[in-house]
Amino acid sequence: MTTKDPVDAITAQWAEVRPELDTAPMAVFGRVYRIARTMGDRIEKVYARFGVSRGEFDVLATLRRSGEPYTLSPRQLSATLMLTTGGMTGRLDKLERAGLLSRSPDPHDRRGLRVTLSERGLALVDEAVVAGLEIQHEALEGLGEEQVGQLQELLRRLLAGSART
């Protein structure tokens, strides 16, 4: 037995007033949007406990994932995070003031900078990523391991298809 959700109510209303419409895509993307919004809000609250926003966490996590010495250029960070250089500068300023990263001249490019995760930033991101994953694991508790794998694959295909347009 499947539980009805608010998206079912929306598609049922459309079926009443416009029965000729195929609302299957609306049902899929309505749920994807609601899940993303709900989980984004929950994750934002988790990261706030560590004194950073989700966007700031993303900067720290990108540096962490890059491996030792946890250093990237602002351009590399911007490209990875799909963020303008202006938006990146604001995040870097705040994170640097908090002592979570540092900026230094690039030894290979006189005009360039290098952004490096500080020890404090490394400790923070390592704790915050665990806390964020706990929330995500909780959200998936109702699914089995095989279902999670299927969902990952279906969403991967959906994302690949949406990138073509």
> What range defines the domain where residue 100 resides?
42-163
Residue 95 belongs to a domain with what CATH number? 1.10.10.10
Total number of domains in the chain:
1
Distance, in Å, from the CA atom of 114 to the CA atom of 10, rounded to the nearest integer, reads 49
Can you give the pLDDT at residue 1? 54
Distance, in Å, from the CA atom of 123 to the CA atom of 100, rounded to the nearest integer, reads 9
Query: What percent of the chain lies above the pLDDT cut of 90?
Result: 78
The reported pTM is 0.86
88-104: pLDDT as tens digits: 899 999 999 999 999 99
> Does residue 79 carry a pLDDT above 80?
yes
In angstroms, the first-to-last Cα distance of the chain is 36
Distance, in Å, from the CA atom of 39 to the CA atom of 163, rounded to the nearest integer, reads 22
Count of Cβ atoms closer than 10 Å to residue 132 Cβ? 20
Distances (CA, A) of 44 to 22, 52, 57, 155: 35, 9, 9, 22
Residue 33 lies inside a defined structural domain of this protein: no
112-129: pLDDT as tens digits: 899 999 999 999 999 999
